[in-house]
Every structure is written in structure tokens, then in C-alpha cells.
Amino acid sequence: MFPGYITDVDGIIVGHAHSEDALTGCTVVICPEGATGGVDVRGSAPGTRETDLFKAEKLVDKVHAVVLSGGSAFGLEAASGVMDHLEELDIGFDVGVTKVPIVASAVIFDLAIGDHRVRPGWQMGYKASLSASKDENRQGNVGCGMGATVGKILGPGGAMKSGIGSATVSSGELVVSALICVNAFGDVFSEGSQIAGAYDYENNKLLNTYEIMKNSLISPGFANTNTTIGVVATNAILSKAEGNKVAQTAHNGLARSINPVHTMVDGDTIFTMATNKLKADVNIVAAMAQEAVEKAVINAIISAEGKAGLKAHRDITTKVL
């Protein structure tokens, strides 16, 4: 397992809330002081909130939290609970009469696993924010990762259980970390070897999504029900334009570990949160972000536990990554 957690970046705290019975949840990444934000949406079926604020020409230049949530578009409501809790803490953009917390969000589709009637909402978002801590370091079936699955070309019954993962890459005082919820349409790879994805439960073997697609030409895919989302945090000093560039480049970490990726049935979205403590070249930060994202994806897979009749990586191998 790769070392590190996104809370390695000073000023970043994380909270999770979930329903283990309904197999859904949400995760919040908070920077109470405000972080320079960036975002890049590569998948073609996204569910997001407040992404326009990250454009360089927009007024607000700091984000206070990013919420990663299950529940498909219903799960965007969890951000309201986070906003209310942060307002209680006097955190946000000062508008005179109050402070408005800037809370962005992205969601995964997890309605086909667990109980689709239970979705992260205000209460779960508030609970996740209330629990946020520098000491949080859980991975796998926790928060937004509770309902995450991968390899869904044959439908929900041919998928494998995934989760949320984190990893840190550092160079001297520069720290770049990623927290990624892996709910991909495609398969997941580590050093070229497939470690999770579409699965033949009758014959107990991994299948290759890309090969299935090539052989059928018309994909039977689990349409509009995927998406890998996450946050890259760093202590580097970044402008909004540079934050967006880091988010763009960080998607290469998904491309290194997931195939196929950024499909029409994925809503792949990565946010950047920079705490602005250390001068660093944006190209170095972006390159480290790629590595952190790739490692976080793999950690999400190897940390996950099988649920709802779906196997996880640990169920099909004895090899320790």
C-alpha cells in the first residue's frame, strides 16, 4: 500500500459519514483558512456543484471545502450540510452580514448497490463536516467510497467493490496529496497488471473491459452510473489558473491506473486545493499530482472490502501490493 493521506498537507482536514446498510456516503475535505481552488471535469456524465467559481476570471479566489458524495445528483445536497456547519464555525467568504462558505462538490452513482432510497443529504454532509479531523486516515469502504464499484460493462452484477483511497508524494517541504473515490466504468491497473474491474463470477476470473468493448463494438455498459472523483491538495502557492492546470494534469494519474477512463458514462472530476505556504514550480506540482492520484486509485482498490455480493481485490488475490 502506498503511504500518505491528504491530511499530510498542513491546513487540510477530512471527515466521512456513511450508511453501511445502504452502502452510500460522503466525504468532505476542508481547508478552514481557504484554499486556492482548481477543477477539471474530463468525464462526460458529471454531477457537480460550484465548478464555475474555479475559473480564473471569477471573483471568489478561495474554496473552503470540497464534498465527494454518493447518491448521484441527489448527493449534491450533502454540500448544504457542510455549508451550514462551516457557517456556524464562522468560516467562509465575508459578505458583511455573515460568511458564506465556498463548498464545491462532485458525486458518484452508487444507487444500484445497497438501498437506492437512501442518499447523502444535509444531515450526512453536516455529520461529515462535524467529524472532520487532521487525524482522519481511513481508506476503502468509508464515506463516499462506501458505495463505489468498478468494472461495470456487464452491469452491476459483474462489477467489483472499490472504495476511496489516498496517497502523498513529497519533495523536501513540498507536499502533494490526493484523495480519490474510484467508481469507474473501466478496470484498474497497477504497474500494467489488472487488479480489479469487470469480473466473471461464474468462473471466478477478471475480465478486460477494453477487450469486451473491442469485441462487441457496441458496449452493453452500465450507462451513466460511474465516475471517479477526487481532490488534490498541496502546500504550494498556486494561482487559480495554476490550480486548474494541476487539476487537468492530475487526470493523467487516472489514465495511468484506469482503462478505459473519461468515457461518456463517467463523470470524472478532480479538484485542486492549494494552501499557499510554499513557492514551487507549477509543473513540479502537477507532475507530483499525477503520481499521487495514481497511487490513491490503487490504494482505494486494495483497501476496499467486498459488499453486496461483490468481490474486492483482497478476495481474489493473496499478493500484497
H/E segment holding residue 195: strand 193-196
317, part of any domain: no
Domain that includes residue 246, residue range = 6-311
318, part of any domain: no
Higher pLDDT, 221 or 136: 136
What cell was used for 144?
463516499
What cell was used for 76?
449534491
User: How many structural domains is the chain composed of?
Assistant: 1
Q: What is the pLDDT of residue 156?
A: 85
Residue type, 239: S
Q: What is the pLDDT of residue 262?
A: 93
**Residue whose entry in the numeric block shows the C-alpha cell 467559481:** 53
* Helix axes 78-88 and 122-130, enclosed angle (nearest 10): 40
For the stretch 151-191, pLDDT in tens is 999 888 899 999 999 999 999 999 999 999 999 999 999 99
From its phi and psi, is residue 256 left (phi > 0), alpha (psi between -120 and 50) or beta?
alpha
Q: pTM of the entire structure?
A: 0.96
pLDDT tier for residue 215 given thresholds of 50, 70 and 90? confident
For the stretch 81-139, pLDDT in tens is 999 999 999 999 999 999 999 999 999 999 999 999 999 999 999 999 999 999 999 99
Q: Evaluate if residue 297 carries a pLDDT over 60.
A: yes
Spatial distance between the Cα atoms of 159 and 155, rounded to a whole number of angstroms: 7
266, part of any domain: yes
Q: What is the mean pLDDT of residues 227-251?
A: 97
CB atoms within 10 A of CB 310: 23
Q: Which of 279, 188, 194 is nearest to 242 (CA)?
A: 279
CATH of the domain at 233: 3.60.70.12
Q: What is the mean pLDDT of residues 193-218?
A: 91
Arithmetic mean of pLDDT over the chain:
94
DSSP for residue 86: H
Q: What is the mean pLDDT of residues 232-246?
A: 97
Rounded to 10 degrees, the C-alpha dihedral 82/85/91/96 comes to 110
- For the ranges 36-50, 276-290, 298-312, which has the lowest average pLDDT? 36-50
Q: Evaluate if residue 314 carries a pLDDT over 90.
A: yes
259, part of any domain: yes
281, part of any domain: yes
- Evaluate whether 310 touches 160 at the Cβ level (below 8 Å): yes
Q: What is the pLDDT of residue 321?
A: 66
320, part of any domain: no
160, part of any domain: yes
Q: Which of 299, 18, 296 is nearest to 146 (CA)?
A: 18
What cell was used for 244?
486548474
